[in-house]
Amino acid sequence: MMNKKSLEIYVHIPFCARKCAYCDFLSFSGNECVQRDYTEKLIEEIEYQSAYAKEYQVISIFIGGGTPSILKTEDMEAVLNALRTRFDIHPHAEVTMEANPGTVTQEGLLSYRNAGVNRISMGLQSADDKELRYLGRIHTYDAFLKSYQRVRMAGFDNVNVDLISAIPGQTVESWKNTLKKVTMLKPEHISAYSLIIEEGTPFYDRYGDHVEMESHAMTKEERRLLMALPDLPDEDSEREMYYLTQEFLLEQGYERYEISNYTKKGYECRHNIGYWTGMEYLGLGLGASSYMNGCRFHNTTDLNDYRNAHFDQEEGFHQALRQELERLSIEEKMEEYMFLGLRLTEGVSAHGFVSNFGQNIRNVYGQILDRLEQDGLMEFKDGFYRLTSRGIDLSNYVMSQFLQ
């Protein structure tokens, strides 16, 4: 048997019950008919894309969105079965599915587990119902607790909870309360991000540094409610939340292994580590990005174009699934290896750099590494270049030093 290369797969389900005010992901609502059509086209894509992955074995799958758990159970089963049938999936592959509170049933969760899902990622964001309303979430904390209990009762023993700090009206105390409530539930993994105000979102209308209002399709009442939202926490409070997250989660037994990710021992998200260490990945579904054979490309972001694509025709396949095809130069690959790898607290392996590029890391980045070490932003330990605590605080600056 040939020695196969490792591959990760990302599957995009773009549908949501309602789009959150801060979200700039490719997502939208869609009725059951649209969702069923999309599922059928996605399975068709799985069949045709698999022909390009015969030399790979899949070591992780991540089903994200949107809200994947909004699909009818039989549709998600069909997608999972197509993946298992068409791709060579490692028997111990990590298979993650995102699920939002209020969209999961016991029957559905058991079905996902039987179809191979072994990790659930739940989007809580906050344990404060008022803060959830400000974000535009459709659930309450109580609804999250009920969904979380269903996940555990279905037998999942690898669960992530997503949280967001520095959201409208949030205080250091309310953020600490969210951390307390979540850690009492003992999830294996916690992703804790600070809110970023993205252009093109309703939150950008309210909080962005701009003069003109964006033209979102909102009613006058929706606009009034948006503009009535409380202010964001000030910079000092945001920094206090940031440091509190690290300290509190460490006290509760969660090790920080990436800038925004914390884990109980042995439950790191293998899929995301693959992204940060330069693993090849294939994106399936609307707008999904891929990196294979040194090339980066993405699928169309137009739902109609995707639903009408003929993947069995070479022209239709490439128009829908090979957009903005770009072959990375060796310099670009090195840059990505550095700025993605430095997100991990372990850092970038000097030996791994040689294995990947056939060059000593110091021959390429010696001057930059020396300067960052002298500035107290980076250190070399046990064969890894990694960010110091101060370097993590200034990570955007540090990573920019490796971009030409």
**What's the whole-number average pLDDT of the chain?**
92
Instruction: Please report whether residue 327 resides in a domain.
Output: no
User: What is the CATH classification number for the domain harbouring 50?
Assistant: 3.20.20.70
Domain co-membership, 258 together with 363 = no
Domain range enclosing 151:
5-195+232-276
For residue 309, the model assigns a pLDDT of: 85
- pLDDT in the model for residue 265: 96
Kind of pairing, strands 5-13 and 281-284? parallel
For β-strands 119-125 and 159-165, DSSP reports them as parallel
Query: Is residue 310 one of the residues assigned to a domain?
Result: no
Domain end call among 219, 251, 276: 276
Domain count, the chain: 2
Please, are residues 11 and 79 in contact by the beta-carbon 8 Å criterion? yes
Residue 253 lies in a domain: yes
Same domain? For 378 and 238 the reply is no
Q: Which residues pair with residue 99 across a beta bridge?
A: 122
Strands 119-125 and 89-99: parallel
Residue 285, in any domain of the structure: no
In a domain, 254, yes or no: yes
Residues in the chain: 404
Q: What is the pLDDT of residue 318?
A: 62
Q: Is residue 150 domain-resident?
A: yes
Residues 119 and 268: their CA atoms lie apart, in Å, by 11
Per-residue tens of pLDDT for the chain, all 404 residues: 468 999 999 999 999 988 888 888 888 888 889 999 999 999 999 999 999 899 999 999 999 999 999 999 999 999 999 999 999 999 999 999 999 998 999 999 999 999 999 999 999 999 999 999 999 898 999 999 999 999 999 999 999 999 999 999 999 999 999 999 999 999 999 999 999 988 888 888 888 875 445 545 667 776 777 777 888 999 999 999 999 999 999 999 999 999 999 999 999 999 999 999 999 999 999 999 999 999 999 999 999 999 988 877 666 566 677 788 899 999 999 999 999 999 999 999 999 999 999 999 999 999 999 999 999 999 999 999 999 999 999 999 999 999 86
Note whether 26 and 171 are same-domain residues. yes
Please tell me the distance from the alpha carbon of residue 356 to that of residue 321, in angstroms, as a whole number. Answer: 27
Q: Domain for residue 375, yes or no? A: yes
Q: Are residues 241 and 384 in the same domain?
A: no
